[in-house]
Structure 1
Amino acid sequence: MLPELEIYYYIILIYLTKEDHYSVRKAGDVQKRPKTVILNLFMRVLLCALLLFVSNNKEKGSSVRYKRKGKIKDRRDIDLVFIGGSTHSGTSLIRAMLDSHQEIYCGYGTWLMRNILGGLKNWRKFNRKQFLVNAGVYPEALDDAIAQFMLEVILGHCPTSKLCCYKDKYIHKLFKNAKFIHMVRDPRAVVYSSLSQNDSNNAASYWMNFRKWDEDNIIILNKCEELGKKYCLLVKYEQLILKPVTQTKRIFKFLGIPWNDEVLHHERHINKSLILRSEEYVSEDLFKPLHLNGLKSWFGNLPKEIEENLGHNGIGQLMYFDYNPEEHTPIYGRPDEFMMKMINK
């Protein structure tokens, strides 16, 4: 006979692979949305695989590579670092800088992990969630399945002697000892960088992206406030570029790892071919030494409507982070001695 918990896994497997519900109902008609059906089926099958993965590994115990700094009873208690923030906020740069340190391995973000975490969010809102609760699968088994799968992805390539770091979203509920570095950048630079890739310069696209930036940062700031300074660190892209010595020392103090100046020369350690294969978008600037170009690339390039009305359209986090919408060519600060030498080379 199967163990009781494993029976629950098979119950939920059968339930989640049932025929998808019709997703659009209009005036009594029922229509299928093929893309939605396929995506939902994929996520359901993936969840089943995760649940069965946990079931099959319950008896095996922890792998050696999960044991760091002594024995860890629960693999989810392992020390991890997550890097997050809006797209084009410097997350790839800080990932590369941390990966330059001999005691840290910082992996690349993947679409797979984002979909996994998006699925977890949706499953928690599942309109028949009580079925999962009654089956004994929600929330513990589901959280455990997601966490164990994430550990396989994150730790699969991370040497046992290093602190493992990952550039993607972070859920503290899954990893209680993990720390989170939240990158923030002037939204004007973020949105310009994003839209310039697509040759889009219309005001509507800008407003939509500004609001997305604002919403994302509100969510993360609330979570950081809840976690406290022990687990969440805010790093502003502009200050990291202008004062890399001070800012990287601050980051390494947060991580509890000795700082060294190799993190200031990420371009010496970066694997360009691997990154281009792994990351969805990478600026060529990532492969160059630290420079100041990214601070002012958007100057004079925003639509006039945006520059004139940004301060009056409810983008509340602008002022919270001290980005003044009335300054169209802001001065973010003075470069430190290290950056002055880089500029004068």
Structure 2
Amino acid sequence: MAPVDEKKESVRPPADPRADRLLTAPVFILSPVRSGSTLLRALLGTHSMLHAPHELHVRRLSVGFGTSLSEKAMGALGHNRADLEHLLWDRVLHRELVRSGKSFIVDKTPANAFAFERIATCWPDARFVFLLRHPASIARSWHEAAPDKRTAQEAALDALRYMKTTQKARHALSGLTVRYEELTEDPTTQTRRICDFLDVPWEPQMFSYGEQGVLQKGLGDWKDKIQSGAVQRGRDLPAPQEIPQALQSICRTWGYLPEPTERSS
């Protein structure tokens, strides 16, 4: 079944958050692909109060009525299709959280950035962590992940879609911004910032994340670096002349390139 057309379907907050939502204050890491989100979820998932599973892609779960009578019956209860999908998404995440025995769930699916408005509508108490990385490093890593499927230029343009929508989310939502480079250079300071934001105590065992369950392509990073079980220094930042033209604007927006200065006449 095709995903719901959100332009035609009424997407709205829960009518009664206490009755319609099982989750409390879920955490969403919004980021581009290849930005270090698997590392961040591994660190957070080791925390005694945070459950951070592999990418779950729950926003792609859709609901169908099957018959007009089913649609009529749900309408009489006050539910449209989007309402029912939200109930399903919440139930799936809550089930996973209960199985973990922890207090809060963390979802780090990069494609969630394209649905940030709906996620914020579904869970009005959601908390957001925005993870940034040098755009040229993202593009290079995205190309290296599947060099037979996309050229370096195609990888840069494709990754830019994620960067732009992540930036839109940062502009629209309240949250905490974390940079991959700072996370790998000083993980103690950055994880303390995140724990403070999430109102959970910082725990030193977060750095011993070890085995983190599913590590496979399509559900998160699967490369050797993440499988090492330890925070490793990121690659050197590209020189300004190495940054593709298509990425220079977002590099400036994110502070990886200075704004151009006007030449005096």
What is the TM-score normalised by the length of structure 2?
Answer: 0.72
Given that residues 143 and 174 in structure 1 are in contact (C-alpha distance below 8 angstroms), is that contact kept between their aligned partners in structure 2? no
2:66 is aligned to: none
C-alpha distance in 1 between matches for 2:2 and 2:149:
35
Name which of 198, 201, 209 aligns with 2:155.
209
SS in 2 for 1:190: helix
2:103 is aligned to: 162
Residues 272-325 of structure 1, C-alpha deviations (whole Å, 9 max, x = no match)? 5x3349825412211221121x323x869xxxxx95572x44641111212239
Given that residues 136 and 243 in structure 2 are in contact (C-alpha distance below 8 angstroms), is that contact kept between their aligned partners in structure 1? no
Given that residues 85 and 91 in structure 1 are in contact (C-alpha distance below 8 angstroms), is that contact kept between their aligned partners in structure 2? yes
2:141 is aligned to: 193
2:14 is aligned to: none
What is the aligned residue count? Answer: 230
Confirm or deny that 1:103 pairs with 2:49.
yes
Given that residues 103 and 163 in structure 1 are in contact (C-alpha distance below 8 angstroms), is that contact kept between their aligned partners in structure 2? yes
Name which of 285, 291, 295 aligns with 2:232.
291
1:11 is aligned to: none
SS in 1 for 2:120: coil
- Which amino acid letter does the alignment assign opposite residue 85 of structure 1? S
Question: Which sections of structure 2, spanning at least 5 residues, go unmatched?
Answer: 6-16, 64-70, 259-265
- Which amino acid letter does the alignment assign opposite residue 252 of structure 2? M
- The structural deviation recorded for 1:218 is 2.8
2:13 is aligned to: none
SS in 1 for 2:162: helix
- Which amino acid letter does the alignment assign opposite residue 38 of structure 2? S
2:25 is aligned to: 79
Confirm or deny that 1:143 pairs with 2:88.
no
2:254 is aligned to: 321
SS in 1 for 2:176: strand
Which protein is richer in helix relative to its size? 1
- Which amino acid letter does the alignment assign opposite residue 283 of structure 1? K
- The structural deviation recorded for 1:136 is 5.0
C-alpha distance in 1 between matches for 2:121 and 2:127:
12
- The structural deviation recorded for 1:259 is 0.7
Residues 139-171 of structure 1, C-alpha deviations (whole Å, 9 max, x = no match)? 962232121111222122213542111122142
**Structure with larger Rg:** 1
Listed as ranges, the matches of 1:270-289 within 5 Å are 270-272=211-213, 274-276=214-216, 279=219, 281-288=221-228, 289=230
Given that residues 211 and 315 in structure 1 are in contact (C-alpha distance below 8 angstroms), is that contact kept between their aligned partners in structure 2? no
Among all aligned residue pairs of Structure 1 and Structure 2, give the percentage whose two residues are the same amino acid: 19
1:236 is aligned to: 179
Confirm or deny that 1:43 pairs with 2:2.
yes
Cα gap change, 1:147/1:322 in structure 2, threshold over 3 Å: closer, same or farther? same
Cα gap change, 1:264/1:314 in structure 2, threshold over 3 Å: closer, same or farther? closer
Name which of 170, 182, 188 aligns with 1:245.
188
- Which amino acid letter does the alignment assign opposite residue 195 of structure 2? F
1:113 is aligned to: 58
C-alpha distance in 2 between matches for 1:94 and 1:198:
22
- Which amino acid letter does the alignment assign opposite residue 146 of structure 1? E
Question: Which sections of structure 1, spanning at least 5 residues, go unmatched?
Answer: 1-41, 48-70, 121-131, 301-305, 326-345
Given that residues 180 and 233 in structure 1 are in contact (C-alpha distance below 8 angstroms), is that contact kept between their aligned partners in structure 2? yes
C-alpha distance in 1 between matches for 2:222 and 2:30:
15
Given that residues 104 and 165 in structure 1 are in contact (C-alpha distance below 8 angstroms), is that contact kept between their aligned partners in structure 2? yes
Listed as ranges, the matches of 1:7-26 within 5 Å are none
- The structural deviation recorded for 1:78 is 2.3
1:224 is aligned to: 170
- Which amino acid letter does the alignment assign opposite residue 58 of structure 2? M
Bigger relative CO (Cα 8 Å, ≥ 6 apart)? 2
SS in 2 for 1:183: strand
More off after superposition, 236-245 vs 145-154: 145-154
C-alpha distance in 1 between matches for 2:18 and 2:149:
52
- The structural deviation recorded for 1:193 is 1.4
What is the TM-score normalised by the length of structure 1?
Answer: 0.57
- The structural deviation recorded for 1:172 is 0.3
Given that residues 23 and 93 in structure 2 are in contact (C-alpha distance below 8 angstroms), is that contact kept between their aligned partners in structure 1? no
